[in-house]
Amino acid sequence: MAELNTGGKQSPRVDLTPMVDLAFLLITFFMLTTSLAKPHAMDVAMPDKDKENKDDNLEVADNRTLTVLLGANNKIEYYMGQLEKPLDGPTVVGYGKNGIRPVILKKMKEVQAATGKGLIVIIRPSDNSNYRNLVDILDEMKIVNAQQYMIGDISEPEIELLKREGVY
Amino acid sequence: MPKIKVKRASTTIDMTAMCDVSFLLLTFFILTATARQPEPLPVDTPASTVQIKVPDANLGTVTVGGDGKVFFGVAGPNVRMRMLERMSEKYSIGFSQKEKERFSLMEGFGVPIGNLKQIIAMDNAERNKPGLQPGIPTDSVGENPSQLHDWIIAARYATKELNNEEMRVAIKGDSKEQYPSIKKVIDILQGQKINKFSLVTNLRTEDYGD
CB burial class (10 A; 0-12, 13-18, 19+) of residue B182?
A: buried
Cis upstream peptide for A90 (omega within 30°): yes
Say whether B210 and A98 touch across the interface (CB within 8 A): yes
- At residue A118, does pLDDT exceed 60? yes
Give me the mean pLDDT over the A24-29 stretch: 88
Say whether B180 and A30 touch across the interface (CB within 8 A): no
Please give the Cα distance from B193 to B84 (Å, whole number). 22
Give me the mean pLDDT over the A74-78 stretch: 82
B5 contact A CB<8A: no
Residues of B in contact with A36 (CB under 8 A): 32
Give me the mean pLDDT over the A29-49 stretch: 75
Amino acid residing at A168: Y
pLDDT at B100: 82
Confidence of residue A20 (pLDDT cuts 50, 70, 90): confident
Give me the mean pLDDT over the A91-100 stretch: 78
pLDDT at A11: 67
Beta strands in A94-168 (DSSP E): 120-125, 148-151
pLDDT at A3: 60
pLDDT at A4: 63
pLDDT at B98: 83
- Confirm whether the ipTM is greater than 0.90: no
B33, B49, B53: residue with CB nearest A41: B53
Please give the Cα distance from B119 to B11 (Å, whole number). 58
pLDDT in tens, B74-129: 888 888 888 888 888 887 778 788 888 888 887 788 888 878 788 888 877 777 77
pLDDT in tens, A154-167: 877 777 777 777 77
Straight-line distance from the first to the last Cα atom of chain A, in angstroms, rounded to the nearest whole number? 102
- At residue A50, does pLDDT exceed 60? no
Which residue of chain B is at minimal alpha-carbon distance from A100?
Answer: B209
pLDDT at A144: 80
- At residue A52, does pLDDT exceed 60? no
pTM of the model: 0.74
Please give the Cα distance from A39 to B107 (Å, whole number). 16
Give me the mean pLDDT over the A25-30 stretch: 87
**Residues paired with residue B196 on neighbouring β-strands, in sequence order:** A45
More confident residue, A18 or A166: A18
- C-beta separation of B86 from B154 below 8 A: yes
pLDDT at A2: 60
- Among candidate residues B181, B146, B151, B149, the one with its CA nearest the CA of residue B65: B181
Best to test chain A binding among B12, B19, B192 (most A CBs inside 10 Å): B19
Which residues of chain B fall below pLDDT 70?
A: 1, 34-38, 208-210
pLDDT at B47: 78
pLDDT at A58: 58
Which of the residue ranges A11-15, A18-22, A102-106, B131-135 would you say has the lowest mean pLDDT? A11-15
Which residue of chain B is at minimal alpha-carbon distance from A34?
Answer: B33
Best to test chain A binding among B25, B37, B201, B203 (most A CBs inside 10 Å): B201
pLDDT at A161: 77
Pairing between strand A65-70 and A76-81?
antiparallel
pLDDT in tens, A122-149: 888 888 888 888 888 888 888 888 777 8
- At residue A65, does pLDDT exceed 70? yes
How close B14 comes to chain A (CA, Å)? 8
- At residue A117, does pLDDT exceed 80? no
**Residue A168, number of CB atoms within 10 A of its CB:** 21
A15, A34, A135: residue with CB nearest B46: A135
- Among candidate residues A76, A48, A103, A41, the one with its CA nearest the CA of residue B45: A41
Pairing between strand B196-203 and A40-45?
antiparallel
